[in-house]
């Protein structure tokens, strides 16, 4: 993600979310974590944002323009994100998703994420639980915890 992407990403946010991030909020994420943009014919059609803390990744948003959905854009973004997270030696990547959002849950499960818990009343407009989903990238996924 670069500064030149910000107006288009703010428009994607408005098209996808009830409480979209502003262009300024997106600007504040520049250079932090892993933020990737999907482009088609030079125009942004989606993006994924992941804040990183030490060896942990927290996906903030996965957004794809409605006209570009069901074309593999989100799947490609998640694949690129998890590949970059693995190169950065993150232990895991995690996210929240509305409990009623079956298509998104299926997308994340297809990318290897597994349910890890529930955050009660996490979302508003309307109030709804979030399913916490995590993808382990290190030895922990095999039941091994490295001791140093």
Q: Which active-site residues does the annotation give?
A: 96, 108
Q: Which of 95, 96, 88, 89 is nearest to 139 (CA)?
A: 89
Q: Partners of 51 in the beta sheet?
A: 58
Instruction: Tell me the Ramachandran region of residue 90: left when phi exceeds 0, alpha when psi lies from -120 to 50, beta otherwise.
Output: beta
By the 8 A CB rule, do 114 and 133 touch?
yes
Treating both helix axes as pointing N-terminal to C-terminal, what angle do 102-110 and 73-87 enclose, rounded to 10 degrees?
40
SS3 annotation, 5-35: HHHHHHHHHHHHCCCCCCHHHHHCCCCCCEE
Helix (H, G, I), strand (E, B) or coil at 116: strand
């Amino acid at each position: 993600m670069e500064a030149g992407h910000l107006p288009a990403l703010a428009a994607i946010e408005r098209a996808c979310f009830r409480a979209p991030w502003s262009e300024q909020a997106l600007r504040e994420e520049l250079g932090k974590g892993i933020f990737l943009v999907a482009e088609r014919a030079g125009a942004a059609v989606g993006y994924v944002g992941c804040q990183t803390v030490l060896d942990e990744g927290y996906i903030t948003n996965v957004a794809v323009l409605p006209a570009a959905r069901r074309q593999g854009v989100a799947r490609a973004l998640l694949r690129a994100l998890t590949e970059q997270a693995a190169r950065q030696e993150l232990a895991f990547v995690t996210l929240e998703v509305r409990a009623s959002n079956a298509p998104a849950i299926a997308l994340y499960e297809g990318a290897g994420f597994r349910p890890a818990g529930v955050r009660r009343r996490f979302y508003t407009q309307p109030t709804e639980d979030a399913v916490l989903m995590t993808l382990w990238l290190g030895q922990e996924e095999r039941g091994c915890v490295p001791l140093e």
